[in-house]
Amino acid sequence: MSDASWKSSQSCIELRGLTVAYGSTIALKRLDLIFYDGVTGLFGPNGAGKSTLLRALSGLLRPSGGSALLFGEEIRSSSESIRRRIGYVGHESGLYARLSVIENLSLFANLYGVTSVRVDEVVDQLDMGEWRSMQVAALSAGLKRRAAVARALLHEPDVLLLDEPYANLDDDASEQVSASILAWRSPGRVAVIATHGAKRVKAFADAGIIIQRGNVISYRRRTPTGYEVAT
């Protein structure tokens, strides 16, 4: 699954003292990090702050302090042009339960100005053809996950933020999700994947971050010879 020719080097996301607090509970503590292009795995136990970090990176969560810059522009105050560059999958599918898979994807395709050819492409990539006319409410948890990833990839974003994309997926479906992420990956694009299934992401990740209780415990980047500590 790993691609030896890949070399990530371009800084895409920069966190400067990013802090997120829910009332008196601090979820992320003054994070200073640079995400380079390629795939970064985000690992850590429950409650470590993985989902909070992804929401802050997407701009859906307002930081309590510090800032997050996406390609040099502050995410929170960003315009439609920055939003267009983000693909995000949270804990839920982010789809309309009463619309079919294809209706959902067509709706978002139209909102992003994406052609129907691209819709068919992501449906094929994630092997959703058989369920394309089925309402999302009737899909299994695993199929909803795949449809959610399809929605996030639809507009070919430069930043892909995936929260537990392998949840409820069997091995074949997990392979399809990994393959579609690899097909999307190209220089200048960054994916951050939060997961408990470290093994699956480690197979092709260019970097890995372990966070615990809102602090970064370890940040390593892949090199031709192994891994090096990153800043």
Q: Does 90 bind other proteins (CB under 8 A)?
A: yes
CB of 219 to other proteins, least distance (A): 26
**In the stretch 19-58, what mask flags binding to other proteins with x, by CB under 8 A?**
---------------------------------------x
- Contact partners, residue 147, CB within 8 Å, separation at least 6: 93, 95, 101, 104, 105, 126, 128, 131, 136, 139
185 touches 12 (CB < 8 A): no
CB closer to other proteins, 65 vs 94: 94
Question: CA neighbours within 13 Å on the CB side: how many for 67?
Answer: 10
Q: Does 98 bind other proteins (CB under 8 A)?
A: yes
Dihedral over alpha carbons 146, 149, 151, 156 (to 10 degrees): -140
CB of 144 to other proteins, least distance (A): 7
Number of amino acids touching other proteins (CB under 8 A): 34
What is the separation, in whole angstroms, between the first and last Cα of the chain?
26
Tokens of 7: 């070399």
Q: Does 133 bind other proteins (CB under 8 A)?
A: no
Q: Of these, 2, 9, 110, 223, which contacts other proteins (CB under 8 A)?
A: 110
Q: Does 88 bind other proteins (CB under 8 A)?
A: yes
Q: Does 112 bind other proteins (CB under 8 A)?
A: yes
Q: Of these, 32, 73, 92, 228, which contacts other proteins (CB under 8 A)?
A: 92
CB of 5 to other proteins, least distance (A): 31
Tokens of 147: 């449809």
Q: Tokens 């929170």 appear where?
A: 76
CB closer to other proteins, 42 vs 216: 42
The region of 12-20, 111-119, 180-188, 214-222 touching other proteins under the rule CB under 8 A is: 111-119
Interface with other proteins in residues 164-223 (CB under 8 A): none
Query: What are φ and ψ of residue 100, in 5° steps?
Result: -75, 170
Q: Which of 173, 166, 91, 162 is nearest to 131 (CA)?
A: 173
Tokens of 208: 């890995």
DSSP bridge pairs for 74: 69
Note the residues at the interface with other proteins (CB under 8 A): 58-60, 62, 80-81, 83-84, 86, 88, 90-99, 103, 107-108, 110-115, 135-137, 144, 151
